[in-house]
A and B are shown apart, each in its own frame.
Chain A
Amino acid sequence: MSEQDPRLLLQPAPLLQQGMTTPQAMKDVWIALAPATLFGIWHFGISSLLVIITTIIGAMITEWAFTPPEKRGHVMGDWSGALTGLLLALTLPPGLPLWMAFLGGAVSTGLGKVMWGGLGNNIFNPALVGRAFLLATFPIVMTTWHGSVDSFFTIHPSNLAMPLMQSATDAVSQATPLGLLKFQQSATATGSLLLGTTTGSLGETSALLLLLGGIFLILRRDIDWRIPVAIFITAALFSAIINSFDAVKYPSPLFTLFSGGMMLGALFMAPDPVTSPLTPRGAIIFGVGIGLLVVLIRVWGGLPEGVMYAILLMNAATPLIDRATQPRVFGRGRPRE
């Protein structure tokens, strides 16, 4: 039956109150994401704001519905459900029908988080679970990209498609920098990748602002710096090697770092403390794995983008990495299995 509050608090040392709490860490992430989010809204227009709001609502309603009433205040209070919704929204195309955005938000908390027992128990990054679901469910809509809009208040007609229906008008998809490279072998200038004036998911385009947010999180010690650094170094090295074979076909290191969801994924999703290894060595292995997988999938896979699957695959390997890199107890031999 329902869990009762413990009468007696039993926990191992240290018993000191730590400075960092979950709501505090969440607040930091909100601040860190704010610039890139605001830029995305400005760049892609009010459509993207609608997508963000809908995803957050979807995520929060699901979390509320599947949480026992007596725990709701506590669980909803840390705003992590809403953060999941925001992170998911940042990986979605701005012209996505709102009903799909809502569904994505619901799936990301429902299947990505609540089902595992709530925050802290999930194996996979919830936002990416939602995105993976949407990509597998609506592959064409999820890869229909809208460019920047003429007027801020333009709402894409595809946003307003009726639930379960596709939009009546055919959207003209614009190629993302990754798609351009993969299918037309034309590289986008690093400058526009940094600024984010390209086509793409609504919060992933501005590499510079995401990097700023990430540095803020690292300085606040909300995330382990080893993970993004390992990802960046591995991906850059790997693409430098293959780029030296064929500079037209394969991405340059800078392109690899600043295009697609690399910044968003490496700084805000991969280092999620719940789904990444706890040990320093583990964090590096985790980052190297993601860096390798991203380039592998982007260059040789069927899809132009690979950040999402790279992170999800390494999420799955996290328990194993944690186990393998456990520091041994001082003064004793290697632990025996």
Chain B
Amino acid sequence: MSHSNLKSQDPSSSRLIISMAIAGLFSGLIIIGIYLATFNTIKANKARELKEAVFRVLPNVTQMSQLRLEDGRVVAYSGDPDENTLYAGFDNRGHFIGYALTGSGAGFQDTIKMLYGYQPDKERIVGMRVLDSRETPGLGDKIYKDSEFVSNFDALSVYPTIKVVKKGNKTKNSEVDAITGATISSKAVVRIINLANKKWLSNLPANPPEAPEPEKANRADKKQSKTEAY
């Protein structure tokens, strides 16, 4: 059918519907195709990102297992992570190092989501990583860009509670130096951790969880080195 014909006569409704249907069909096929083609990569990316975060907040950890808090008990879990999911980290000989716990709460602009490493035997936090936040670029985003601030959480006692102090005034193990110019974001991070601690700490089991199987660990090892090379 030529262009001029289209203008002169109105096509029937069925033709319009068929055109739309064909366009929709092809579009659907393409979308399903790209979804299937990228599905595994996207899933792997997410898993890798999580693993990287867990390894970052727990020093010397090379293996991890996913757990979940259910009715006040920590059990093994293999589903999709949610807000009750936690992770146990182990070194390469399978010794338990600590837990990676999640916390989230209001920041200066939007919800801040974070992961932090906790060693139950020493009752201290050994690392913190912000997973998701929309804090002000240049100021509030220092909660993850400023290594000085992040290093506050490398050996931080959680008892009685963590407190924010003005930069340079840190005297106790449970105090955090605030970021100059981003006091609200600094306080938000600490508040979120304190709240999360309330939820987690009393429910953590007295005995360390069991290490995952060694072959899994090897795979995790490879994944990590690949990540770093990437």
Question: A interface vs B, CB < 8 Å?
Answer: 139-140, 143, 302
* Contact in complex: A139, B139 (CB < 8 Å): yes
* Contact in complex: A140, B184 (CB < 8 Å): no
Closest chain-B Cβ to A68's Cβ sits at a distance in Å of 37
Provide the B164-195 mask, 1 if CB < 8 A to any CB of A, else 0. Answer: 00000000000000001100100000000000
* Contact in complex: A143, B184 (CB < 8 Å): no
* Secondary structure dominating the interface of B: loop
Provide the B101-135 mask, 1 if CB < 8 A to any CB of A, else 0. Answer: 00000000000000000000000000000000000
Once bound together, how far apart are the Cα atoms of A123 and B184, in whole Å?
32
Closest chain-A Cβ to B106's Cβ sits at a distance in Å of 14
Nearest residue (CB) in A for B184 is A302
What are 6 residue pairs bridging A and B, where the CB atoms are less than 8 Å apart in the complex? A139-B139, A139-B181, A140-B180, A140-B181, A143-B181, A302-B184
Once bound together, how far apart are the Cα atoms of A302 and B184, in whole Å?
8
Measured between beta carbons, the chain B residues less than 8 angstroms from A143 are: 181
Once bound together, how far apart are the Cα atoms of A140 and B180, in whole Å?
7
Closest chain-B Cβ to A2's Cβ sits at a distance in Å of 42
Nearest residue (CB) in A for B181 is A140
Once bound together, how far apart are the Cα atoms of A139 and B139, in whole Å?
9
Once bound together, how far apart are the Cα atoms of A337 and B133, in whole Å?
47
Closest chain-A Cβ to B49's Cβ sits at a distance in Å of 31
Once bound together, how far apart are the Cα atoms of A183 and B139, in whole Å?
19
Once bound together, how far apart are the Cα atoms of A214 and B30, in whole Å?
72
Once bound together, how far apart are the Cα atoms of A139 and B108, in whole Å?
16
Measured between beta carbons, the chain B residues less than 8 angstroms from A140 are: 180-181
Number of interface residues of B (CB under 8 A): 4
Closest 6 CB pairs of A and B: A140-B181, A139-B181, A140-B180, A302-B184, A139-B139, A143-B181
Nearest residue (CB) in B for A140 is B181
Measured between beta carbons, the chain A residues less than 8 angstroms from B139 are: 139
Once bound together, how far apart are the Cα atoms of A143 and B139, in whole Å?
14
Measured between beta carbons, the chain A residues less than 8 angstroms from B181 are: 139-140, 143
Once bound together, how far apart are the Cα atoms of A13 and B180, in whole Å?
59
Closest chain-B Cβ to A303's Cβ sits at a distance in Å of 11
Measured between beta carbons, the chain B residues less than 8 angstroms from A139 are: 139, 181
Measured between beta carbons, the chain B residues less than 8 angstroms from A302 are: 184
Closest chain-B Cβ to A143's Cβ sits at a distance in Å of 7
Measured between beta carbons, the chain A residues less than 8 angstroms from B180 are: 140
Closest chain-A Cβ to B203's Cβ sits at a distance in Å of 35
Nearest residue (CB) in B for A173 is B180
Provide the B130-156 mask, 1 if CB < 8 A to any CB of A, else 0. Answer: 000000000100000000000000000
Closest chain-A Cβ to B19's Cβ sits at a distance in Å of 49
Once bound together, how far apart are the Cα atoms of A52 and B94, in whole Å?
66
Nearest residue (CB) in A for B108 is A302
Nearest residue (CB) in B for A137 is B138
Closest chain-B Cβ to A135's Cβ sits at a distance in Å of 11
Closest chain-A Cβ to B135's Cβ sits at a distance in Å of 13
Nearest residue (CB) in A for B180 is A140
Closest chain-B Cβ to A107's Cβ sits at a distance in Å of 18
Once bound together, how far apart are the Cα atoms of A46 and B171, in whole Å?
38
Closest chain-A Cβ to B101's Cβ sits at a distance in Å of 29
Closest chain-A Cβ to B91's Cβ sits at a distance in Å of 40
Closest chain-B Cβ to A301's Cβ sits at a distance in Å of 11
Closest chain-B Cβ to A151's Cβ sits at a distance in Å of 28
Closest chain-A Cβ to B164's Cβ sits at a distance in Å of 12
Closest chain-B Cβ to A312's Cβ sits at a distance in Å of 19
Once bound together, how far apart are the Cα atoms of A140 and B184, in whole Å?
14
Closest chain-A Cβ to B88's Cβ sits at a distance in Å of 39
Closest chain-B Cβ to A71's Cβ sits at a distance in Å of 39
Once bound together, how far apart are the Cα atoms of A197 and B135, in whole Å?
37
Q: Which of A139, A143, A302 has the most CB of B within 10 A?
A: A139
Once bound together, how far apart are the Cα atoms of A143 and B180, in whole Å?
10
Closest chain-A Cβ to B138's Cβ sits at a distance in Å of 8
Closest chain-B Cβ to A288's Cβ sits at a distance in Å of 30
Nearest residue (CB) in A for B166 is A183
Closest chain-A Cβ to B215's Cβ sits at a distance in Å of 51
Nearest residue (CB) in A for B139 is A139
Q: Which of B139, B181, B184 has the most CB of A within 10 A?
A: B181
Closest chain-B Cβ to A100's Cβ sits at a distance in Å of 15
Within 8 A of A (CB), among B63-80: none
Closest chain-A Cβ to B47's Cβ sits at a distance in Å of 38
Closest chain-B Cβ to A89's Cβ sits at a distance in Å of 23
Closest chain-B Cβ to A22's Cβ sits at a distance in Å of 40
Once bound together, how far apart are the Cα atoms of A302 and B107, in whole Å?
13
Once bound together, how far apart are the Cα atoms of A149 and B180, in whole Å?
24
Closest chain-B Cβ to A105's Cβ sits at a distance in Å of 23
Once bound together, how far apart are the Cα atoms of A143 and B184, in whole Å?
16
Closest chain-A Cβ to B70's Cβ sits at a distance in Å of 40
Once bound together, how far apart are the Cα atoms of A139 and B185, in whole Å?
15
Closest chain-B Cβ to A154's Cβ sits at a distance in Å of 24
Once bound together, how far apart are the Cα atoms of A302 and B180, in whole Å?
14
Nearest residue (CB) in B for A302 is B184
